[in-house]
Amino acid sequence: MRDAARVRGAATGGRARPLAAARARRAALWTSAGVGSVVVAGVAGLVVGPVAVPTAEVVRWLLSWVPFTAAPTLSEQDLAILTQLRLPRVVLGGLVGAALAVSGAAYQAAFRNPLADPYLLGSAAGAGLGATLAITLGLGGASLAVPVAAFAGALVGVGLAYAMASTRAAGRTSTSLVLAGVAIASFLTAAQTYLQQQNTDSLREVYSWMLGRLGTGGWHEVLLALPYVTASAAVLLASRRLLVVLSLGDVEAASLGVRVGRDRAIVVIAASLATAAAVAVAGLIGFVGLIVPHAVRMATGASHRVTVGLSLLFGASFLIACDIVARTLVAPGELPIGVITAFIGAPFFALILRRSGGAR
């Protein structure tokens, strides 16, 4: 039988390039679809709102940034709405969605755990404590105090979890890191609950932060998150192949010459930094980091190499779309975006799960 197989192998010259090319084409097609989804969601995000701005005008305005195209014909008021309200909100939504989804994809690969999400290592709990601290200290009014405190809190949370798991006795394994994350998260959440209970007057403000929101976001928030999200995403995208190797487990990855502890730390730090930046500017938005990477994996059937990048794109369009729903469903009021991500995400996930026949 082996000989027969060998003849077959020789007959094709030992090459499988046409099929590999088809795989590459499929990946490129999915990437285009991802970019397209971001564009469509972005334009929709600019068009939809209480004040009607025609789609054609919005598109012409966007194209006006391309040299040698016609100048836009927007009124000053429309221009202000677009540049000061809707565009920063769309950009922030895309940035936060991309950060959460790409971190989720990276965490799931690095920890070989399908349930790993961006909030795994105590970053959410740390951010919650930081934000609560800032709000109860009466700094909620200062424009960047809460995001900066949340960012610092998230980094402290992840840092503590890492320090706890990195002792020789803890074994420095991915399991010890996850366990340390759970312990740190419980501790920080308890501290935050205590703080909240002592300052019931700021309960509402803290609660609204926890639920996540993009509504109060402006260019300030975009500029705060942008450098961290960009740098982290670049590192994670460059680590795509490494993530595949790490998914073979510590022993096999090490036998392939990977310095598992160090390399996983690089991925985890990058993902945590992106998460901290996202949480700092948008609060705790659940579901995106967990669902988007899985949905992408199930829909494409591709490896981490392809899905990390696709998670970034589809995470961005998913959150922009969710934000449109959040601000139109009960207009002129707004729903917390975390509610929408779960309401849309869960049925969508069920659909993909049914169609793909399971997460394999």
Partner 1 sequence: MIVATGLVVSRGGADVVRGVSIDVAGGAWLTIVGPNGAGKSSMLLALAGLIPAAGSIVVGGVSIAEGSTRTRARRVALVAQQPVVPEALTVAEYVSLGRTPHLSFFGTETARDHELADEVLARIDLTWAAERRVDTLSGGEFRRAVVGRALAQEAEVLLLDEPTTGLDLGHQVDVLELVDELRRERGITVVSAMHDLTLAARFSDRFALLAHGEIVAEGTPAEVLDPHVLARHYGIAVHVVHGPGGELIVVPARTPVGRR
Per CB under 8 A, the list member of 60, 172, 220, 305 interacting with partner 1 is: 305
Least distance CB 266 / partner 1 (angstroms): 9
Q: Quote the radius of gyration of the chain (alpha carbons, Å).
A: 22
Output the CA–CA distances (angstroms, integers) from residue 226 to 66, 114, 131, 281, in the order listed: 22, 27, 20, 10
d(CA 13, CA 15): 5
Distances (CA, A) of 7 to 3, 12, 18, 120: 6, 9, 19, 50
Helical pair 145-165 and 260-282, crossing angle rounded to 10 deg:
160
Is residue 5 near partner 1 by the rule CB under 8 A? yes
Residues that bind partner 1 (rule: CB under 8 A) add up to a total of: 41
Residue 26 touches partner 1, criterion: CB under 8 A: no
Stretch that binds partner 1, among 30-38, 153-161, 198-206, 239-247 (CB under 8 A): 239-247
Residue 23 structure tokens: 């795989």
Q: Which is nearer to partner 1, 112 or 220 (CB)?
A: 112
Whether the Cβ atoms of residue 337 and residue 288 lie closer than 8 Å to each other: no
**Nearest by Cα to 92 from 344, 339, 322:** 322
Contact between 245 and partner 1 by CB under 8 A: the answer reads yes
Q: Does 66 bind partner 1 (CB under 8 A)?
A: no
* 249 near partner 1 (CB under 8 A): yes
- What DSSP letter does each residue of 31-93 carry, written as one string? HHHHHHHHHHHHHHHHH-SSS---HHHHHHHHHTTSTTSPPP---HHHHHIIIIIIHHHHHHH
Instruction: Give the chain's end-to-end CA distance (angstroms, integer).
Output: 30
- Considering only 12-20, 86-94, 153-161, 276-284, which stretch makes contact with partner 1 by CB under 8 A? 12-20
Buried b (16+ CB within 10 A) or exposed e, 45-82: bbbbbeeebeeebbebbbeeeeeeeeebebeeebeebb
37 or 300, CB closer to partner 1? 300
User: Counting contacts by CB under 8 A, is residue 14 touching partner 1?
Assistant: yes
* 106 contacts 270 by C-beta, under 8 angstroms: yes
Binding mask 268-297 for partner 1 (x = CB under 8 A): -----------------------------x
**Binding to partner 1 by residue 299, rule CB under 8 A?**
no
**Residues 96 to 155: which contact partner 1 by CB under 8 A?**
none
How far apart are CB 267 and partner 1 at their closest, in Å?
11
Of 260 and 324, the one with the shorter C-beta distance to partner 1 is 260
Stretch that binds partner 1, among 72-80, 248-256, 277-285, 349-357 (CB under 8 A): 248-256
Distance CA 234, CA 305 (A): 14
> Binding to partner 1 by residue 190, rule CB under 8 A?
no
Q: Is 241 near partner 1 (CB under 8 A)?
A: yes
**Type of residue numbered 218:** G
Closest to partner 1 by CB, 283 vs 293, is 293
In the complex, what is the shortest distance from the CB of residue 303 to partner 1, in angstroms, rounded to a whole number?
5
DSSP 110: H
Q: Which of 19, 66, 169, 330 binds partner 1 (CB under 8 A)?
A: 19
One residue of 242, 268, 282, 308 binding partner 1 per CB under 8 A:
242
Options 76-84, 118-126, 217-225, 254-262: segment touching partner 1 (CB under 8 A): 254-262
Q: Please select the residue that binds partner 1; options are 70, 71, 169, 251, rule is CB under 8 A.
A: 251
Contact residues toward partner 1 (CB under 8 A) are 2, 5-6, 8-10, 12, 14-17, 19-20, 22-23, 238-239, 241-242, 244-245, 247-249, 251-252, 254-259, 263, 297, 301-305, 307, 360
